[in-house]
Amino acid sequence: MQRVSSLDAGMLYAETPEMPMHTMGVLILERPARSLFAGLRRDIGKRIHLVAPFRRRLVEGPLRLGDPHWLEDPDFSLDNHLHRAALPAPGGRRELAEFVGEVAGRLLDRSLPLWEMHLVEGLSDGNVALVVKVHHAAMDGGRLVAMMNTLLDLAPRGHRRVVPEREWTPDQPPSLAWFALDTSRALAAKPFSAWRALADIGATLLRSRDAGSGEPGLQLDAGAHSAGLFEAPPTPFNGALSRQRSVAMADVAFADVKAIRNAFGTTVNDVVLAACGGALRDWLLGHGGLPERALIASVPVTVRSAAAGADDAGNRVSMIFAELALQDADPVQRLLAIHAQTARAKERHGHGKGDVFRQATDLLTSITVPWLLTQVIELYSRSHLGEQLPPLWNLVISNLPGPQKPLYCAGARVLRLYPFGPVQLNSGLNLTVMSSAGRLCLGAMGCKRMVPDIESIADGFRCEIRALKKRALLRTRAG
């Protein structure tokens, strides 16, 4: 068995019916000559030994006082995880988005390994969709991409020779006596863990201040103004979450994104943030107007070391914060402003020489027990305090590097790969992008009550890339 890390455990404790904490991917597969389901089941079965999170389920002690563990499931069966579905007519993008939204709104069964796949047929163009759902505690976005590389092939008849380095061996569930001993040890260690987490946070904030990054800690550098906690402006997509999810997908040529980057001397991530900001600007103008202050986007960044092993599938992420100033109507000026601001934010993050996000999670899990933290989160959700309190940030925007070579699933080519991240407390919108085989794919996930027309944000993303591309061409021609 393997103890769940504090960051992964925090995602488990924070999960409620209104806030499922799973990540998702939607793969569009080229029209197959025959049904893919049998081939998909065969391929996953042959490679399951290479994907540890797919075999492991959670075990928790009585009263949920101690730390949860991952157990190699002695009752593992692919039948519990692989499903088949057909879209209703006409089987278009809207019907697919509705299906994905329904899957996204359901919690994963914690008595099983925390993942599932749905092979979706009935698309109007004859293609097939594969909807993949994995709990964030089991895999972060980077590991999810690595998992797809393991399960998919590089050729349509990819008979890759898969030789296990070691056979996986199911665990026996621990006894009540084992749980009692483990829980007593975990509770005894909590005060020391809390002091260590406090010391780590203090040291990180002091290093950040000494490095010249201004105010220490969780503030966002934006030139003359530093936005602090609870300074994110209210928007229609901030508030108490519902259990329903709205979903939209869009994609653009990755070559266009790189052309914009090169023309204006920015980064791909800056272009992504600017395109998301432009889409949100248009959406907000149609939903009550722009806020007086810049939006604050939480941007996950990986802190996983290159030496991390294949079984180290949990989360190794931190956060930086980006301000999206939307008042300027010029998309290029917004792009350049984002570039300057994110450069400072990344410098501040690097100066800290630590991970306050993880350290704060360590502290939180050290001063409470699982059931109590879960009850607090559920009470917050049911009380609708999210409607009264300002958000820590307005939305999450994540950029994942995806597989750059063509991939095949059970012989069918993967045409598109749309990623999706969870919406979080008081923040009902998540925009995640992934570059894959020449395309930049956007997956937009929202609280359906707050963002029922999320497809307009996805459309706005495409429009913003087109507008920036035109300006990039003009700049390149002008020399």
Catalytic residue annotation: 136
Contact predicate 11/21, CB 8 Å? yes
E-strand ranges in 228-279 read 245-253
Burial of 230 from C-beta contacts in 10 A (0-12 / 13-18 / 19+): exposed
**CA distance readout (Å), 397 to 231, 291, 294, 299:** 18, 18, 15, 5
Which uninterrupted H or E stretch holds 128? strand 128-135
Q: What value does the CA radius of gyration of the chain take, rounded to a whole number of Å?
A: 23
Distance CA 351, CA 219 (A): 13
**CA distance readout (Å), 274 to 70, 224, 329, 338:** 40, 20, 12, 7
Give the residue from 156, 91, 151, 76 showing the smallest Cα distance to 121.
Answer: 91
Q: In what order do the strands lie in the sheet with 408-409?
A: 82-86, 115-121, 128-135, 22-29, 412-420, 408-409
CA torsion, ordered 37, 40, 41, 44, to nearest 10 deg: -170
CA torsion, ordered 131, 461, 425, 191, to nearest 10 deg: 80
Residues in the chain: 479
**CA distance readout (Å), 456 to 58, 179, 334, 424:** 38, 50, 20, 21
Tokens standing for 400? Answer: 């994942």
Burial of 390 from C-beta contacts in 10 A (0-12 / 13-18 / 19+): middle
